[in-house]
Every structure is written in C-alpha cells, then in structure tokens.
Structure 1
C-alpha cells in the first residue's frame, strides 16, 4: 500500500511539473490525491454473484448505521483538507472524473431462467467481475504523431472501421409477399372503383414503390463519419461527459463478430438517444443499425440527415379500421424489415414506441418485434441477438413534456422548431449522459423458453398473471398475428422493458428530485438532504443498482441542484439562532431547500423523480396494501401503544395483487417468467417494517411451501386447501423510523392512486351518455384541478394525461368502459352492467380504498 501511495505521489509531482503554468493545479492535485486516498480507505472487495447468494447478508439498517458512522468521520476529515470542488473540476475538464469511480457491475446480466446459455456467452470470466469506472467517449486519445495531436478528431474519425450498408429496394419490390399484397390491393380497387385490372395493378405497384422510397433508409458510411466529427465538436458544448463501460463495448464487438443481426431495444427518453447510440457504435467499430423513426421527424434537411444516419420512417399511428385494410403499407414495411435482416443489417427501434412523458418506462409496442420474430420463424434469419439498452440524462435535453401532460396538443416538429431547439440545446448545460448496454441474449433461446412455459404451465401453476391488451394504435396487433404469437412477443417485450428499467443509470438529479418530492415536500435543510441522500445512496449500493455519480454527497447534491435549476428547486440561506435555556449563544447560517411543488413545475420535477420508482415500486405496493387493510388499526392509539397490530400474509398478497392490477398499465412489476405472487411474498419478507411472527413458520418452511405450491395440481383440491395448518402472520413495526419509512413508501404511488381514483369518480358522468376520449380526458383533468383546489388531492403531479389515459385502458380491461372508434375519434360509454350510478360508484370505491392516508404525527 505504501509503495502505491508513493507511486501516485510521484506521478502527481510529474503531472504538476509538466503543467506548472496552470494556476489552479495545486487544487487539482490535492483533490485527486485526496480522492485516491479516500478510495483506498473505503474500498472493500466485491464478491461474485455466487458468493453473495451463498453468504448471509446483514440487514440494510445494520449496514446503513455502520456506514453512516464511518462516513461522518471520514467526511469531516476530507472536507477540512479539500480545497476545491469535485464538480467544478468536472465542469472545466470533462475527463474520467465524470464517470462513476466506485466498483459497479459492468453490465446487467440477461435472465438466467429464460436464457441460461446466453448468460454464459459473449462475456469472459474476467468481465463477469467488476470494474472501477467507465469511459468518456467525448475524450479522444490524440495518438503518437504530431498530425494526430493537432487534428485528433479527424484522425479518430478516419480510423473508424468502414462497413458496407446495402440498399434493399430491388429485393423488396420483387418479393413474393409484396407482389401478393399488390394483387390483393388491385382486386380491392377493382371491386370498389370498378376500374380495369391492369390499371389497378399499375396503380398499386406505383403506390408500393412510393411507400418504400419514402420509408427506406439511405444509411451512409461517409455521412456517419462526418456527423461523428461534428458531434465531437458540438456535444462538449452542452454535455459534460458521455459515459459508457469499455467492457460492455468489448461484449458488443463479440456480438457483432458473431454474424447474427443485433436488435437494439433502447428505452426512449430523448431525440438524442439514437444519436448517442449510433455515435458510440461508430466510434467503437460496431456496425450501425437501421433505426425505426416516426414519420413526424421527416422534416426538411433533418429528415434527410436522419435517413443518412440510418433512420427509416414508419407511421406512428394508424386508424384501427382503415389500418387493417391498408395491407399494402403493412406488406411494404414487413418486407423491408425482413429483407434488411437478410442483407445483414442490424436493427434498432424503441420498444416503448415514443418518448416517455412521465420519466418511467411505458408499456411496449410490439409491432416491429413481431416482424423480427416472423423473420426467425420463417427461416429468414437463423437467430438474432437482442440488446436491451438504457440511458439516462442528468437533465433532459428535449426540455419537458409539461404542456402535453396538462392536456395541450403536442407541437409538431418543423424545420424552425428543430433549429430553435438545437440552438437552445447548445446554449444549455445538461450534465452527464450515461449509456448502458445490457448483455445480449438469443431470440431463439428466449422464444423457446416462453413456448415451453406456455406448453407446460397452466394458469393455476403460473399464479395470477396480469394480462393486458395491445394498443389499438399499434401498426401490428391481434389483427395480423395469432393470440399465441402475440403473447410470446408481448412477453419478450415486457421482459426487455423490465430489464432496461432495472439497469437504467441512476443520476444525481433523480435521487435529489425523488427525495424532495417524496420525503421533503415541505422543505428541508441542506444537512437533512445530505443525510437522506447518504442513506438512499447506501441503500441503492446495497441493492447493487447502477449509480452514475461519485464523490462527496454535498458536492453531488449541489451539482444536481444547479442542473435542476431554480425553476424546480428553491434554495434560500437563512440565519438561525441557537439558544441554551432561552439565551442566544450563537448565530449560524443554514441553507433551506424546497421543491417547487406547484403546477406546472412539479410535473417536470416528477419526471426526474419517477426514474427511481422501478426500484421501490413493489415495496410501495406492499405498504399501499397494508394501508388498505389496516386503516382502523393504524389509527388506533391503543393498538399503536401496545404495538400488537398483526396481519395475515394472504390478506397482504390479495390486496397487493389488487394494487398491481390497478396499476398494471403503469408498471411492469416483475419479469413475465416470474410468479408475481411469489415476488410479492419475497418483497414482504425483505422489508423491515413488518416481521414474521415467532409462532409462525420458519423461513425453511415458508420456502418449501412456496416450492410445493408451484407444483400443486389444480384437481387436488383437498390438498391445495389443507396443506397449510396455520396462517402466516406478520407483526407491524410502528416505531418512529418504521412509521416514517412506511409513509415515505406509501407516498410514492399516491399521485397515481389519486389520478385513478378521480378518473373512476368521473365515470359517473358517463351514465346514460357517451363522450369522446378528448372530452372525457378534460372532464377528469377538471375534476383533478377542483380536487387540488379543495385539498382532496395533495399532489400536483396527479394532474397528468398519461395516467388518465392508462386508467381508461384499465376500465376497458375491466369491461366497465366500451370504446367505439368513429371517424378517427374514440367514443367512450359505459357497458350495460355499469351504466347506472350504483355500479359506477362501486368501481370508484374499489380504487379509492387505497387512497387512505394516515397522519404519522
């Protein structure tokens, strides 16, 4: 250790000697040496996954208390000798210091249950371990020669591997499937218009060619290189660092060399997403993909540019009725994708369809994935490697979606708006961008795994799975694929979104916004925020989440606050007088921090907070279920004083499944290959706020019963009902810490519960009448605004269009609402059984049961 310290000091002295003209180099040197020393002092060896699974863990509270004590000691010492701020260095010098400096998993591994062979492929034994930091792709190694040092970016672009990107126009037009679709379209034209067959065929062929020419990509290696050089110049103007893990890139290179097409499936946050992915792949010599883009982006110049960078344009929405009749368009798109895969192209498309407006993942759109599955099943490709991709931004480059969430129409992209957005972006500061590529998995292996599950498992053995319907606006759906095929594609898509959500990098702005909205909504001091930030940071590390920040918490928080800006978070310095026995002894200055929790600002702040929800959603579901069960007991002072509130496991699970059913269009609670009921039970057992009664079963008995339940035959009714001799009970912990933890977890889902409750209440206005989707949406928005003014709803972020639309889908699924498309407009009315005040009120009460709030004071 002493030798390493001396080596680092010697390197630091050399660094200082060669940079003696820099005025603040002493500050930089001392800061870096202090950071190295702090890392050595706190670093511990990270065991492998197998060791962690086999070794009993301390509880999180025990780890948190020990870590808090250590951090208090080392933190005070570090602050005394630190002369400069970590993030000030970041702002002036975008180097490796902008990347996470702690030990983090290099990638999110693919599912060992669905794709066990893929989990052991493409990754060497060394890469299965951990690495210290990522790579900032904006920093280029200048190389040894003088020319490469002067023209480093040109030299870097010139060194990129060249790929040939063939066009498939001719092969698409001569495809038998498309020819058959042209003939069918001509037959329809003859039947409807009465024209002759030859002219109808010519017209259909011309339309097919026009569709293809407007759709196809003109991916160009030369344009990719030119754009890469421009990005090297422009990205540092508004991004401090763009981070990727080198070992992930090595994994992608192995996948690229496999000869199989790569299917990149990113979650969609910003228009910068596809630019960053293409830039990373190009700069690391991985073949660039064709990218599915909405036809709304086909605007002058930028549409041509995106096409040259790989975009092919598809209709974002089609009429549910007319779209089914437009077989020609569907056939052109289907054939273009299949022929592109046959020609060796990689494909990239956003599995959610459009950008998330709420900050959390959306439900999947499975159209293009269905085509890729068809290409495998008909033998066009022998297999494909699915690559889930997740990225996050400290500040969203696209601005915000507040207008749309308040019910205003989306502004269509034009050349003028694109130029304006580009200029404002270049003038801004958006912090750090981090991109993570999860481990690729075999489409063939996952497909066979899900097919095996469908063949062997009954609904009873699966438990109570949550099913959902396909969006009626999706290009593909149940009208073009069989139900079994659709369910397979839907399972794969949900698996990818779940994995992407779990692997999404957690930015400093996400944690700060999350704490301010859910823990310190009424404001806090900087010291309080630092303490909670430390606790959340340790919890995330303990859960082995992908944390994309490092350094002292106070520096990270100040950096996040500067990124979020005064429009979202207010800071105020205040003087406080300390007193002893009523006598003032000293005056100190504190920093008071308060989130801007009024409309419309709170909607934007909730966007950053919602990125954290996927890591806490099941805990929040369990607490919401507990509140729904124990409203009377938790409010009873005598029960609280005696601390004897108990609840049975079956009751918690039943209520939790009900909460999941209500919010099934908001979250994917578990992988499709998992049993949701078992996942909820595991969540209950991992929580500190409730403990298993001593007289109940041992942990080994609980595990064996769950294992046996998996294999229970539905016909063995007697054994199924009698295999338990006594109910499993839990005791609720109501000490102050646990009470605050419960209320914190309950707060996470309250905005959604409030929205769904008001939406269910508004169903009464449909009794005996019908409304268009737009009118019904505005009715719900109006009710939420009124409830906010009256104090019935406490969260401004409940006023949000996306959850309201999802509630309509839920009521359709419950057979409460009926939707009838009419001239491109959706008409909603109540089903016959619910077209009365009593039945509509029952729906409202079933949702409002989870709206109850307790006063922990």
Structure 2
C-alpha cells in the first residue's frame, strides 16, 4: 500500500524518479528550493562509506606507551638459573614504572570520603604487620660468640699473670667484665624493629617525598613482582644497594614496605647513631656497625667481630631480610665505588660452613635528579668530613624540605642465588692461577691483570685468620659483580645526561637548541646500549627541567640562548658528580680511545694507522692505572674481552677503520684456529693479531666522538699525573693538600681546564695504585698516616720512569685544544 501511494505522489511531483522514496518525494514537494536534506543525505552517505573503508582497511593499533628494556637481569654466564627463575613466564616485561606514592590513592580510590582524602594515612594503617623477634638471646648463646668471650678472658688473665691474686676469683671477675662488655656491644649493634614506628615513618615519608620530589618516587613494577616470586622460595633476601645519600636508609625500606614486602634489617654506620634520629633508624630496622675496624683501636677485637657475625646469621635464621651498603660509605664522586665485602664475607662464610643453605642477593640502585643531602664539594677540596649531629640533621632536613629535588628512582635487580654464584666462580680457572708480583711494567697484563686486580683488593676486616687467599678473591669477585650489575642497571636521570654533555661534548658552551640535540642524541645512544632512562618528554622540556634542577650556580644560561657550565672548581666538581653516572658507563671505550690517542700523538703525524697489538697493550696498561676508579667488567668476563667488545663498537661507528679485507680477516681467523693445534713456539703463529692494523678516521663525526671519549676520563689522568709530580716522603694529609694546591694554581692560571680534576678521591686512589706497585709505603706513625718512597724509587730517575707510565696517557692532543 505504501509503495503505491509513493509512486502516485512521485508522479504528481514530477521531479522524482520512480525508485525514490516517499520521504524524498515529500521533501521535494514541500521545500523544492532547499538543500538541507541533500546535505543530510550526503553526510549519511559519507559516513557509510567511511565506516566501510574503516572496516575493510588494515587495522592500525593505537599508540602504546613507551617501553623500557628489561633491566636488572642476572648475569647469563654466572647465574643462568636465577635469570630464568623469578620471571613470570606468562607476561613480558614492559619496563613500566610505578609511582609508589600513588599506591594508596589507587587502592582507596573507590572507598569512602575519609579514605579518599586521607589515602596516605589509610595506606599506612593497612600495611602488613610482621613479626620481629628479639635475636639477642640466641646471639648470646652462639658458639662463636661464647668462644670469643672465653679467648678474650684468657688473654686478659695472661696480662695479669704476674700479679698475686686468687685465680678463681680473678677468672670470675674478668669473665664477668668481658661478658658485660660483650652484652653492651650487642645492644649497641642490635635493632629494635617496630611496626608502629614503621607506619609512622611511612606516613612521614609520604608527606616529605611529595614535598621534595615533584616527579615522584618510581620503581619498576617488574622488579616488585620478581621479589614477590622470590619471597615464596623461603630463602632470606639480602639487599645490596649502592650508597648515594643518607636518605637511602629509609627509602629502600619505605619502597619495600609499601609494595607489601618485608622490610629488611639495615647495616648502618655508627656515625648515624645520633640522638632521636638514631632511635628512629633503629626502630626502622637499622643495626649499627663500627667504621674502619682495621687500623683503628677496634682492630682485632674478637668480641665485636663475633658479635656482629652472630647477630647477622641469627637474624637471617629468624627469617629476617638483610640490607647492607656494599660500598661502605656514600660515594663522594657519583661513580660506583669498589666493594667493601666485610658483611658479604660473613654471609659467604656461613654458606660455606653450612650454617645457611643459600641466600638471594638483590642488587639495588637509587638515583636522584638532585642529591637530597647536599654535595661533597667540601670533602673533595680536602676539608674534613663533618660528623653528623642532632642539629646538623635538623638543618639538613629543613634545607631538604625547602628544595625541589626532581624525581627519585629505586630499582631492584633480579635476586641472585649465592650458591649459584659460588659454583660459577669455582669454574673460572683464570682467577685461581698464582698471581705474579705486582709491577707497573708487566709484559703479560692480558693474562694476569684480572686476577691481579682481585688479589690486590681482596681484604676485609671481618675475614678470619684462617681464610685462604682463594676465598678472599671469591668474596671480592662476587662483591665486584654485584656493584657492576647495580651500576649497569641504574636509571639515568635527566641531570646525569645534561651534566655529562656539558662536561664532554659541549664543554665550551653551546646554544640551547644544540644542547637539546646533543641530549636527545645521547639519550638515543644510551637506549640502544640497553640503559634505562629515568625521564621522558620532549627534548626541550627535558633540558629545561634539568637546568632548573641543577640551578644557576652550576650552569650559566645567558639570554635564554647560550648554556655552559660555570667556570669554577666547586661547580665543576658538583656537575661531575651527576655526570659520573655516565662516565662509568663509557669507561671501557674511553680507555681504548685514550690509549689510541697516546699512540697517535707520539708517532708520525702523517701515519694514521695503529697496530692492534700495540693498541690493546696500551689499553690494558691504562686499565690497570684506573683499576681504583672503575669496574670495567664483571669478574666473569676478562678485561681484554671487554676492551675487544669496545673496539668492535668503535669500528662499527667508523671511528676506527679495519685495513684488512673481509676475506683476509676470515683467512686470519682460520689460520689462528689451525695454529692452536700445534704446540710450537713460533711467535708468528701465536700472535697473528700483530699483523692487524686500524686506520684512524678523520671525519668530523669520528673526531667529535674521540674528543668526547678522551674528555670522559681526562680529569682523572690530570689528577693522577699531578700526584706523581708531588710524590715524596711526607704525611699523607700534607701530600694530598700540596697536590690539591698545585691543581688549583694550574686552574687559576688556565693551565688546567678541568676543574673536576681537583679531587681528593682521585689523589688518594693514585696513592693506592703506587702502593700496589710497591713505589710507596703507607704506614701509621703516632696515629698519623704517612707516605714513604720504597728503596728502589728513592732515586729520582727510577721514580720518573715509573711516573712516565701514567704521564704518557695525559698527553697533549689537538683534540682538546
């Protein structure tokens, strides 16, 4: 019926086709001059065709958030089982970062009005209650502790053997006095963890961190999941953080507590046992240990050592987690420090004698856009360290609360089985071979350098007298591995990258646009190298945030167009603190390029080629010189292997060009493999690498890259070279002071362009190197440390020959002029 009516109306209107609908006919009749309906029909047709195209065209996924590379994975060579054990096989790590300050807001977002507005307080009130037992009774009954008390008692009895006293009465009184002293030592060490204080401190940390860290406090969600899975294994977790700030004591505990993990007992220096704040730290799990047991009045105190050992082991046996800073004190330079493996030696000893079945070691990294408790410029300039007091702590807290410190990152590496590490290191025979006498002129560094470095550094105040050199080297190797792993997984903040660029690539200053390009390029290179960047955003916003955080005292911005580091020693030292996070990353290629420049500068200017063997020999020598500054590679990898890897990177970047053709290289590799089947002494068959040469590229990009890498470690070499110039028989404090004065004078006369070279740490590390080389002897006389030249080097010519080994890497090169 409707069709019939439609056709008649259409015919009556005269202007509509037979197939037109009734609606179209009525439109044409009622509004013949209007195109409104035509537009509506066109829109409907366009929408229909668009939907059709959208349905039939290839599906484009929506933009995804930026993913970060997996960081903090266990070493695939030393701990393959640990690397695969704690990952969730069903989910892939995206590297997402969570702000722990927002956990309460997310948890109570759908709660009542009170919980929504007081989310931090509600989160702290709902934290898990853990049972912390008093371990002092079990420590007092410990066999080693009682044996130490008995030995100390008999030693004191021997001192009074000539006096005429009742033997039983004397023994009882001496024993009682020694026991009282031992109990006092235990009470000074022990913590008193309290759930109520932990909740209070957690709430205070919420408020404090929101005030001082505008960017929040982040941690990787995958790290937390790994720890939860490892927790189910029933083994104690031993957290091993790198130490940057006093705030680290609270921050690691705060992060673990908020994410539902058991807070650990924390080994803190006894300098933190100050009124009120020390009590707070003790209630948050801190147990206090003495600093510098060796060389002090506490050296050789068997009661203290046994008390500390018994307290640690009984705490682990009671299902407590443990945390200790493997570097000892806070880093004064921003670089990871060499490990002090005292507490680690206790844990390893407990595993080896069967006291514990295993322990899971967790390297922890912390980084700040701006250091919370100030800089270390005063100490680097030779001023004595200011001891912590109640009033200095109050002033520091007040100053911190009124400063914006940007963002904070706390990240946890994969838990590593101590048992697996011990088993792996027992297989590395090149670390067990006899160590040759340390010498600055060593013709076989490639074979001896790795174990020589471990042997020279393997000492600790908590080792017993019956511990073998092999076990000491194993502890040192495990400690260095933990420090290296933590350093490689540290999130790099925007201030780290900007400071490094200003001190190397753009040392003379540049425009803001150039600085932004350099920072963006450096960030891309770090990402390709697998490093985690602790910042996001457009380059101009990243640079702006970093410059605001560093402040005008460190970076001068002229007219909002030009930026450069301030020309002063304190500013350079503080900038270098932030830049050194990247200096440690680029240490291996920087060593190789500096060795390359030392060869290029001494040979004919027209000759731009260098032999492989000569380059590697120079790089190994420089690696030994800087062994006090950097851990170039994990102990499971030889330094030569790491340098070869860096060499391949330089070749891939066209900084060095291999003069051999691919066919010749393949033939050379075949001949090497074939030569290994013979036991002859033919030098040509043993050292085919002597025939390999590299040509130094002269393109602007290659020259700029070489300049950057040379300037990465050049300040250290300036400090080492000046220390050698000033070496003599004198008190160590006087020697360090005169070297600092000499460096400051050179800087004032524009003979030294690196203000960060004026560093007490670099000077002391050079003295340690000369001591390992048996060039000097450091001894204590009337409680004062003194330096004395050893017999062969009293002659100035012999001393000059030794120091020339360092001076040759501090060469005059046109790259930095």
Q: TM-score, normalised by structure 2?
A: 0.86
Q: CA deviation at 1:546?
A: 0.8
Q: CA deviation at 1:117?
A: 0.9
Structure 1 residues 477 and 813: alpha-carbon distance in aligned structure 2, compared to 1, 3 A threshold = farther
User: In the alignment, is residue 254 of structure 1 matched against residue 229 of structure 2?
Assistant: yes
- Aligned equivalent of 2:207: 233
Contact map agreement 1:106 1:127 (CA 8 A) in 2: no
List per-residue Cα deviations over 1:642-675 (Å, max 9, x = no partner). xx61111111110000111000000000110002
Listed as ranges, the matches of 1:374-413 within 5 Å are 374-413=349-388
List per-residue Cα deviations over 1:426-473 (Å, max 9, x = no partner). 111000001111111100000111112248974799663151567799
Comparing 455-464 with 319-328, greater Cα deviation is found at: 455-464
Aligned partners of 1:825, 1:812: CA distance in 2, in Å? 17
Aligned partners of 2:671, 2:332: CA distance in 1, in Å? 42
Q: CA deviation at 1:263?
A: 0.6
Equivalent position to 1:672, from 635, 638, 643:
635
- Aligned equivalent of 2:188: 214
Q: CA deviation at 1:474?
A: 4.9
Comparing 471-480 with 680-689, greater Cα deviation is found at: 471-480
Contact map agreement 1:137 1:280 (CA 8 A) in 2: no
- Aligned equivalent of 2:28: none
- Aligned equivalent of 1:356: 331
- Aligned equivalent of 1:85: none
User: In the alignment, is residue 646 of structure 1 matched against residue 609 of structure 2?
Assistant: yes
Contact map agreement 2:492 2:534 (CA 8 A) in 1: yes
User: In the alignment, is residue 265 of structure 1 matched against residue 250 of structure 2?
Assistant: no
- Aligned equivalent of 1:191: 158
Comparing 445-454 with 781-790, greater Cα deviation is found at: 781-790
Aligned partners of 1:248, 1:561: CA distance in 2, in Å? 30
Contact map agreement 1:402 1:603 (CA 8 A) in 2: yes
Aligned partners of 1:356, 1:197: CA distance in 2, in Å? 47
Q: CA deviation at 1:261?
A: 0.4
Structure 1 residues 184 and 606: alpha-carbon distance in aligned structure 2, compared to 1, 3 A threshold = same
Q: CA deviation at 1:708?
A: 8.9
User: In the alignment, is residue 738 of structure 1 matched against residue 708 of structure 2?
Assistant: no
Aligned partners of 1:742, 1:725: CA distance in 2, in Å? 23
Structure 1 residues 270 and 723: alpha-carbon distance in aligned structure 2, compared to 1, 3 A threshold = closer
Equivalent position to 2:586, from 616, 628, 631:
616
Structure 1 residues 844 and 722: alpha-carbon distance in aligned structure 2, compared to 1, 3 A threshold = closer
Q: CA deviation at 1:854?
A: 2.0
List per-residue Cα deviations over 1:171-217 (Å, max 9, x = no partner). 11111111110111111111224472221111111110000001101
Equivalent position to 1:750, from 711, 714, 727:
714
User: In the alignment, is residue 287 of structure 1 matched against residue 287 of structure 2?
Assistant: no
Q: TM-score, normalised by structure 1?
A: 0.82
Equivalent position to 1:794, from 750, 753, 764:
753
- Aligned equivalent of 1:658: 621
List per-residue Cα deviations over 1:24-51 (Å, max 9, x = no partner). xxxxxxxxxxxxxxxx99979xxxxxxx
List per-residue Cα deviations over 1:826-850 (Å, max 9, x = no partner). 2210110111211111122111101
Q: Unmatched 5+ residue regions in structure 1?
A: 1-39, 45-100, 574-589
SS class of match (1:467): helix
Q: Unmatched 5+ residue regions in structure 2?
A: 1-59, 164-169, 435-443
Contact map agreement 2:71 2:531 (CA 8 A) in 1: no
Q: CA deviation at 1:316?
A: 1.1
Structure 1 residues 482 and 705: alpha-carbon distance in aligned structure 2, compared to 1, 3 A threshold = farther
Aligned partners of 1:707, 1:506: CA distance in 2, in Å? 42
- Aligned equivalent of 1:855: 814
- Aligned equivalent of 2:595: 625
Comparing 835-844 with 748-757, greater Cα deviation is found at: 835-844
- Aligned equivalent of 2:740: 781
User: In the alignment, is residue 318 of structure 1 matched against residue 263 of structure 2?
Assistant: no
List per-residue Cα deviations over 1:310-365 (Å, max 9, x = no partner). 10001111342754431111111111111111111111000100000000101100
Aligned partners of 1:348, 1:699: CA distance in 2, in Å? 50
Q: CA deviation at 1:740?
A: 1.6
List per-residue Cα deviations over 1:228-278 (Å, max 9, x = no partner). 112112210111210011121011111122110001000000111121110
Q: CA deviation at 1:134?
A: 3.4
Contact map agreement 2:456 2:772 (CA 8 A) in 1: no
- Aligned equivalent of 1:496: 482
Aligned partners of 2:549, 2:712: CA distance in 1, in Å? 23
Structure 1 residues 259 and 823: alpha-carbon distance in aligned structure 2, compared to 1, 3 A threshold = farther
Q: CA deviation at 1:521?
A: 1.9
Count of residues paired in the alignment: 732
Equivalent position to 1:153, from 94, 100, 120:
120
User: In the alignment, is residue 816 of structure 1 matched against residue 783 of structure 2?
Assistant: no
User: In the alignment, is residue 762 of structure 1 matched against residue 721 of structure 2?
Assistant: no
Equivalent position to 1:728, from 672, 687, 692:
692
Aligned partners of 1:823, 1:633: CA distance in 2, in Å? 50
Contact map agreement 1:320 1:472 (CA 8 A) in 2: no
Comparing 801-810 with 189-198, greater Cα deviation is found at: 189-198
User: In the alignment, is residue 524 of structure 1 matched against residue 498 of structure 2?
Assistant: no
- Aligned equivalent of 2:132: 165
Aligned partners of 2:677, 2:63: CA distance in 1, in Å? 47
Kindly report the root-mean-square deviation, in angstroms, between the aligned alpha carbons of the 2 structures: 2.5
User: In the alignment, is residue 694 of structure 1 matched against residue 660 of structure 2?
Assistant: yes
Equivalent position to 2:149, from 171, 182, 189:
182
Aligned partners of 1:730, 1:738: CA distance in 2, in Å? 14
Contact map agreement 1:812 1:819 (CA 8 A) in 2: yes
Contact map agreement 1:153 1:232 (CA 8 A) in 2: yes
Contact map agreement 1:220 1:308 (CA 8 A) in 2: yes
- Aligned equivalent of 2:320: 345
Structure 1 residues 648 and 726: alpha-carbon distance in aligned structure 2, compared to 1, 3 A threshold = closer
SS class of match (1:114): coil
Aligned partners of 2:211, 2:706: CA distance in 1, in Å? 43
Contact map agreement 1:317 1:473 (CA 8 A) in 2: no
Comparing 669-678 with 595-604, greater Cα deviation is found at: 595-604
Comparing 548-557 with 469-478, greater Cα deviation is found at: 469-478
Rg larger for: 2
- Aligned equivalent of 1:56: none
Q: CA deviation at 1:154?
A: 2.4
Equivalent position to 1:682, from 641, 645, 649:
645
Q: CA deviation at 1:129?
A: 3.6
Q: CA deviation at 1:783?
A: 2.1
